[in-house]
Chains A and B, each alone.
Chain A
């Protein structure tokens, strides 16, 4: 645990980020963001809030670092393997009967679910049947995802996860090492486009069949969560699926007119027909 930001210091920092980086995180979860920002301050070896604010004003590098780490998720590949099984057997297999499938991964961040999806498509021989859009406010994140670079932190427990999906699978079969860094194999890096921009103003080249947005809502407050759910409703086909994290229970809020709970255990929601 790094330094501890007071609420006033936190507010001062998010004001600076809004003003100088043009990114509004005022509707993000304060507890998580406060920890997150404190970690960035610690990494930069900055000792005071005022110095951090000055660094935000002075250095694009600092602004880019903050935007790239807004979610600061550390999620292993194939987290919650049961969801991936359902994705194949219940969702994709059914949808393929009516045509190819379009999947949107907003706020792709470090790419954990994106890479998992690409491996998953390869395993199931679905690469040519699925189109993917990844999007993020951070160009840095998108650029990294386009290379297939996998942070070693994401690999912890990932081998165990993929084995729980299918005991015959070996994660290393889908990875390669270059200059001591781990990447997804180049042959897997296809069938997607990357869009930079604010989540709520992203314009997709298609209406999605599936939106994969796991463990991102946890970083929003209720107001932003509602806005995001509305945006997803607009960008999903009738009967399309929104998949969130297993501890992101959207039924706590008023979503009945837009989505119904399809799978409680894995928090999969089905869009109502309009």
Chain B
């Protein structure tokens, strides 16, 4: 499918993406070697509950990273409520309380863009269902920096604005169904891509 070594999986989503993530998580085996970084829109003022809901479904640890926490394979990282989550040179997270981007904090655009600049061709950005345009410009940055880009098939999205916006402004390498996205991620873990 692709002839490169992808070692970072970065996923963004908003309305309708929770269903996809909860379908994905139980499929990821305990020995999955890569880090999966999730930037999902969530309520700003609710710090607890979301990660617990995801943990029920997951075989892997899910961590809301603190600032400057290093990124390790075999972990799933979830952007904390009310912070932007950037990726910094040195393979660690850098949080910020910068203004909302696309009415969102965390903003998928900021996570994708910073990841693109650090991970370059070693990452895949996957943009799921969502009702605003956050993530589209981040996908463009991933493409421009040599990363691989996937969006959820529009017909399957509960809200298609987000992947549609990405398709409009940049070249998307693959448009996939949820099942195809899951299979793709599993293959990355098996180094079969």
Contacts and interface: CB of A to CB of B under 8 A. Distances in A.
Interface of A: 1, 4, 7, 29-32, 35-36, 39, 72-75, 79-80, 153, 157, 160-161, 164, 215, 217-219, 222, 225, 245-249, 252
B164 interface: no
B98 A74 contact: yes
Contact of A164 (B45, B66, B80, B88): B45
Contact of B45 (A29, A35, A153, A161): A161
B67 A248 contact: yes
Interface string B110-146: 1001100100000000000000000001100100000
A247 B86 contact: no
B3 interface: no
Interface of B: 44-45, 47, 64-69, 80, 82-84, 86-89, 94-101, 105, 107, 109-110, 113-114, 117, 137-138, 141
B45 A74 contact: no
A29 B97 contact: no
Contacts, number: 85
Contacts of A217: 67
A79 to B, nearest CB: 7
Given A1-B101, A4-B141, A160-B45, A249 B96 contact: no
Contacts of A247: 64-67, 80, 83, 95
Nearest to A82: B47
Given A4-B113, A157-B44, A72 B69 contact: no
Task: Classify the interface of chain B: helix, strand, loop or mixed.
Answer: loop
Contact of A218 (B45, B97, B107, B114): B97
B113 A249 contact: no
Given A1-B137, A160-B45, A249-B67, A31 B97 contact: no
A217 B65 CA distance: 15
A97 B100 CA distance: 42
Contacts of A252: 66, 68-69
Contacts of A246: 47
Nearest to A32: B96
A4 B101 CA distance: 14
Given A4-B113, A157-B44, A252-B69, A74 B97 contact: yes
B38 to A, nearest CB: 16
A72 B67 contact: no
Contacts of A39: 98-99
A218 B105 CA distance: 15
B51 to A, nearest CB: 13
Nearest to B107: A1
Interchain residue pairs A-B with the least CB separation, the first 4: A31-B86, A249-B66, A32-B96, A74-B99
